[in-house]
Structure 1
Amino acid sequence: MLLTITLEPPAGSAIDATALSHLLRKHPAKVQSFELPVGQAHVFYPECSTERTTAALLMEVDPVGLVRNKRFRGDSGVLDYYVNDRPFVASSLMSVALGKVLRSAMTGVSETYPELAASPLPLRIELPVASARGRSGAGLAHRLFAPLGWHVEQRVIALDENYPQWGESQYSSLVLTGNIRLDLALRQLYVLLPVLDDSKHYWVSDDETEKLARQGEGWLGTHPERELITSRYLAHQKDLIALATTRMESAMAAVPTGVTNGSANSPAETTAPLRVQRALDVIAALKTNGAQRVVDAGCGPGALLRRLQADPFFTRIIGTDVSARSLEQAAAALFLEERTDAEQQRISLLHSSVVYRDARLEGFDAVVLMEVIEHVDPTRLPALQDAVFAGANPRLVVVTTPNVEYNVKYPDLEAGAMRHEDHRFEFSRAQFRQWAQATATDFGYTVEFQPVGPEDEHVGAPTQLAIFRKDQA
């Protein structure tokens, strides 16, 4: 599958078309190849002059590798598992290549040409083969791209040019022209190619809503086909669609994405699942405090690790757990075996207990204990405090734990029962504050509290969060 991007400034323009190579951060004098989980991507320049420069992204999909790869292969019980159009048609696999190969260009930052990176450019994007599936397929390319300022040329490809009576296929060649910022154009393609195809060739989970919010920033919230785009991008999963919609509406209302103010009227709190809101608030605390090197202690099967892994803000990530089975599940969820060497160096998993000191965890910016302390026997909490606050000694510790007072709001939970059979205790708000403040005093930290989830007037929020910051000498 092929994608080309052309910069051709109008006559008399001061723009040097070769600047495209600097904005893409790919040298025009050589072919560059990149190994991806789905095959190989190649970047090269068919033409490069001051008047007109074209960059090409060629994706060579490995059909056999797709069949063998658990992440991409799909349902082995259908013919599509073996015979499909993935190697030839621009789709979510091309989005994978864009996100990996042109990630720097998608940030909109250029040290060499900062003005051009921040300005609309006369771009021409060509996709020789794209698909438009489903009932909404007719005219979909125009409905998706035209509202964003693109002029859309679409030529439908016949099933067989030698037999015109067979009619048209679902495939088209697309040419998009317009004055668009390069980073915006790439982010729009990243989202809209799988929408046009109406197929994600990999597992769609909660972190896809974050990708949609991040790549859709500045254009998706006001798009007339926003609902269709969201539904198709998230593989028609209703809970993810609701979460993504909430995030976009919150952003449009000028509420920082992923940050809750604790108000019971916050849309993010009333719509987002608690497990998602909890993770978003933890990540917001890490980012607010500039913690880029993070230990997720008691990581379990990797729910938080997946989000940290997807965010380039975090430069070094370690997940620990006492359960070998949980670490196996986390490794599978993170697709560690399929990652590049650089990615495997960025994130790693360690067999370790939160109640014993581990020298491998020293020197990190932050340690996260998300829904961990309630799984530890109360008599072992001092050992946990020593291992984390004295042993690892990070400048930031983020702790979340259930608020037992909120349990009355769960109708299926018997009186006096805890939320999970493995919980050894559950703190009330007063008990958690007392424990956290004593911990902060003993180990030289200050502590701040915030609720997570919908806050009830009488019993508080379902989850309580504490942010411990190291006192500065």
Structure 2
Amino acid sequence: MTTALQEDRLVAVLRAIDETGARTVLDLGCGSGDLILRLATRASCTRITGIDTDLESLRRLQARLADLPADARARVQIANASMTAAHRSLRGYDCATLVETIEHLPHADLNRLERALFADMRPQHIIVTTPNADYNPVLGVPPHRFRHPGHHFEWSRERFGHWADGVAARNGYSVTRRDVAGTHPALGGASQMAIFRRSGQVP
């Protein structure tokens, strides 16, 4: 069962995917498949691939997929694989999504993710969401703590923007950002989203 904030995030990501017109979607760090299950029921998505390093999450996803109609299941493939390694077979997707996943990576792995996804696999669009540290006081999170013990960082909107702009510039993408999930007039949303669009040239 998803929380209200997670549901808001998923709705925002689905809307962003619709805006890209993507028919093939790669979900990195797919977990137990909250996004994949929603995509699988859409006839507009012809191929959906989820990867994760957590086998137990993938088993739960496999069980959840079994409840879908056969035509929806046929659109989905899942694999035990890392988002920080390039996979030749995963090149050429219209859109890749990373929903609340990058904050689970050590900082050193962000460079590996950039090389694998933005420099090698290079989907046409990439959608990233991550917690907005500016919003943490609204959730009662003390300044010295993160929302989840598995997080290695939680970025302010300024820090996230700096990272997104740098990744885009280095790899031939443009980027726009949005606040999502319970937007506060001064602090933004519980999460923040970057939508990358590949340009014709690599810098």
TM-score by length of 2: 0.93
Structure 1 Cα separation of the partners of residues 17 and 42 of structure 2: 12
Structure 2 Cα separation of the partners of residues 439 and 284 of structure 1: 23
1:405 aligns to 2:134 (yes or no): yes
The share of aligned pairs that are identical, in percent, is 34
Paired residue for 2:12? 281
- Please point out which of 86, 93, 97 is paired with 1:357: 86
Paired residue for 2:200? 472
Over the residues paired in the alignment, what is the CA RMSD in angstroms? 1.7
Structure 1 counterpart SS, 2:176: strand
Structure 2 Cα separation of the partners of residues 347 and 379 of structure 1: 31
What pairs with 1:229-378 in structure 2 (closer than 5 Å)?
273-335=4-66, 340=70, 342-378=71-107
Structure 1 counterpart SS, 2:98: strand
Report the alpha carbon displacement of residue 339 of structure 1 after superposing the two structures with TM.
Answer: 5.3
What pairs with 1:89-104 in structure 2 (closer than 5 Å)?
none
Structure 2 Cα separation of the partners of residues 344 and 304 of structure 1: 14
Structure 1 Cα separation of the partners of residues 145 and 48 of structure 2: 35
Paired residue for 1:390? 119
Q: Does structure 1 conserve the Cα–Cα contact (< 8 Å) formed by 2:65 and 2:73?
A: no
Structure 2 counterpart SS, 1:318: strand
Partner AA of 1:459 in structure 2: L
Larger Rg: 1
Report the alpha carbon displacement of residue 418 of structure 1 after superposing the two structures with TM.
Answer: 0.5
Report the alpha carbon displacement of residue 472 of structure 1 after superposing the two structures with TM.
Answer: 2.7
Partner AA of 2:110 in structure 1: L
What pairs with 1:173-188 in structure 2 (closer than 5 Å)?
none
1:434 aligns to 2:162 (yes or no): yes
Partner AA of 1:422 in structure 2: G
Structure 1 counterpart SS, 2:189: coil
Q: Structure 2: 5+ residue runs without aligned partners? A: none
Structure 1 counterpart SS, 2:155: coil
Q: Does structure 1 conserve the Cα–Cα contact (< 8 Å) formed by 2:95 and 2:125?
A: yes
Structure 2 Cα separation of the partners of residues 462 and 406 of structure 1: 5
1:421 aligns to 2:128 (yes or no): no
Structure 2 counterpart SS, 1:367: strand
Report the alpha carbon displacement of residue 415 of structure 1 after superposing the two structures with TM.
Answer: 3.2
Partner AA of 2:106 in structure 1: D
Structure 1 Cα separation of the partners of residues 199 and 12 of structure 2: 22
Runs of 4+ in structure 1 deviating by more than 3 angstroms, as ranges, are 342-345
TM-score by length of 1: 0.41
Q: Work out the number of aligned pairs and report it.
A: 201
